[in-house]
Amino acid sequence: MIRRKLTKPEKLTIETNIQSENTLGYGIFELIMKGKNTANTLFAMENHAYTNRKKKPNLGRYEKIRKEFESGEEDLFKRFLSVTSPEKPLKEYKFFDLFAGCGGMTQGLFQAGLQPVAAVEINPIACATHKKNFPNCFIHNKDIREFNPTDWTRDGSIEEINVIAGGPPCQGFSVAGKRDPNDERNRLFWEFVRIVKEIKPWYVVLENVPGILTMQKGQVYKTILGAFADIGYPNMSVNVLESATFGVPQFRPRAIFIANRFGLPNPYPNPQLTPDRYLPIESAISDLPPDTARPEINHEWTRHSQKMTARISKVPPGGSLYETFFDAWKRQYPGIPSMTIKENHGGTHIHPYLDRVISAREMARLQTFPDSFIFQGTMKQAMWQIGNAVPPRLAEVIGCALIPFLNAINIEVIPSTSNATLFSVFSFSWHSARPVLSASIKIFNSKGKSTVPVLRAFSANFPFLLIPLV
């Protein structure tokens, strides 16, 4: 297809259409008005009109799972906190990332202010990426069953770890493919449990696909809760978080399990954006060169033959190049977040405007990886790593929600070295003049003997600490 600069009348026509319908992504408009060669611009406008008339995106793939789950019993330990102005950590909180992949969870928790000290990942290419971006973090490039919690320390001691996070392989759980409850990958979370039991972190964060909540009619989900209860984390919470509500330009719901060993609430970030304010795909990728690869930042894509390009040019937004592919080779809708990013042997999603699949860097942008985060290996290996990663922004807001509670433990509201449980509150007062809560709290240790009552001032985030949690 011949590419040329648009004439002034064509620009004005497109500008009028954009302003009148106000749904086409603003990124493409910026490129048009700058006079850059933007491939298939008029084609994009035609598809934009087609999208408004015909096909609409299906955004509720996991909505039924989320609603069914949230309609169950009330979880008294689940709390939602605003992370718009996140609290700063009072000390350097250390975390492990298990099944770390290339480091999406690591990057997000690091952005929140936590410090990665060890990671476990069996894939050597993903480990190379993790090592490049986190050179000071110990990486165990072996089977997790061979990991010893003292491997990362110089003297072989077990140091205090504040958070252990990770996502056991989820291919067996996902509704995107055939789910096999006997899949060996589904059992690897027991290794996660083993390491948590040995290290005893303050908080645990486990990430997976929402389909895990309904697998085997909820038995897999209940097994996970029971496994952590048996090792001293009895009040695990779970919630489905939609990444797009936190500024990720992609629809990517995830099931997030959180637990702690002090009987404290399990914090989750409050959603930040309503659907009408979700970031569109253009907000992340519009400034990347449409035709020129930049290998130094992984901006590379599958090169198509002329015949393949011609076929791709006929795919409308929401349509797929192949009828048999449900999660690949689909042209993205303009003006809204992208569909869930995945990798399928180079057959990733199709660019919303160009007649090619999206590049590895475009995938990384849609996952919220910074451009400074460089992926090792071939282009396809980079795509595989990105498609399997946790969006760093999602991990970041989870970390921001955890920090106030890590701070509370750090100032010894709850003794971090014991198995203490918040047992009772015998007096408290709310000062309306300032958002501070004073409380006298009696702490009981694991043997039932009370420790010395403490008097603490809590920020407005902590009125719920006064609920008896026994």
Closest CA to 335 of 12, 57, 42: 57
Bridge partners, 269 (sequence order): 81
Strand-by-strand arrangement of the 203-208 sheet: 138-140, 115-120, 94-98, 163-166, 203-208, 253-260, 237-242
CB neighbour class for 209 (10 Å; exposed up to 12, middle 13-18, buried from 19): buried
Rounded Cα gap, residues 164 and 213, in angstroms: 21
Given this model, what pLDDT does residue 285 score? 97
Given this model, what pLDDT does residue 150 score? 79
Position 326 confidence tier, pLDDT thresholds 50, 70, 90: low
Rounded Cα gap, residues 411 and 207, in angstroms: 28
- Interval 367-405: pLDDT, tens: 999 999 999 999 999 999 999 999 999 999 999 999 999
Q: What letter represents residue 365's amino acid? A: R
Average predicted confidence (pLDDT) for the chain? 78
Indicate the range of 74-88, 114-128, 248-262 predicted with least confidence.
74-88
- Interval 276-289: pLDDT, tens: 999 999 999 999 99
Instruction: Mark whether 127 is an active-site residue.
Output: no
Given this model, what pLDDT does residue 73 score? 64
Please state the pTM of the whole predicted model. 0.78
Task: Look at residue 118 and tell me whether its pLDDT is greater than 90.
Answer: yes
- Higher-pLDDT residue of 418, 212: 212
Q: Report whether CATH 3.30.70.270 matches the domain 61-411.
A: no
Given this model, what pLDDT does residue 300 score? 96
Position 262 confidence tier, pLDDT thresholds 50, 70, 90: very high
Rounded Cα gap, residues 360 and 105, in angstroms: 18
Token pair 């406008």 in the structure block, residue: 45
Among 127, 137, 170, 400, which one carries the catalytic annotation?
170
Indicate the range of 168-172, 361-365, 402-406 predicted with least confidence.
168-172
Q: What letter represents residue 148's amino acid? A: N
CB neighbour class for 32 (10 Å; exposed up to 12, middle 13-18, buried from 19): buried
Residues 6+ apart with CB under 8 A from 184: none
CB atoms within 10 A of CB 452: 6
Six token digits for residue 171: 């291919």
Given this model, what pLDDT does residue 178 score? 53
What are the DSSP E strand ranges found in 186-280? 203-208, 237-242, 253-260, 266-269
Q: What is the mean pLDDT of the segment spanning 84-99?
A: 96
Instruction: Tell me the domain boundaries of the chain.
Output: 1-54, 61-411, 419-466
Rounded Cα gap, residues 329 and 355, in angstroms: 11
Given this model, what pLDDT does residue 336 score? 96
Task: Look at residue 469 and tell me whether its pLDDT is greater than 50.
Answer: no
Q: What letter represents residue 53's amino acid? A: R
Q: How far is CA 156 from CA 143, 150, 159, in A?
A: 20, 5, 9
Give the per-residue SS3 of 156-211: CCCCCCCEEEECCCCCCCCCCCCCCCCCHHHHHHHHHHHHHHHHCCCEEEEEECHH
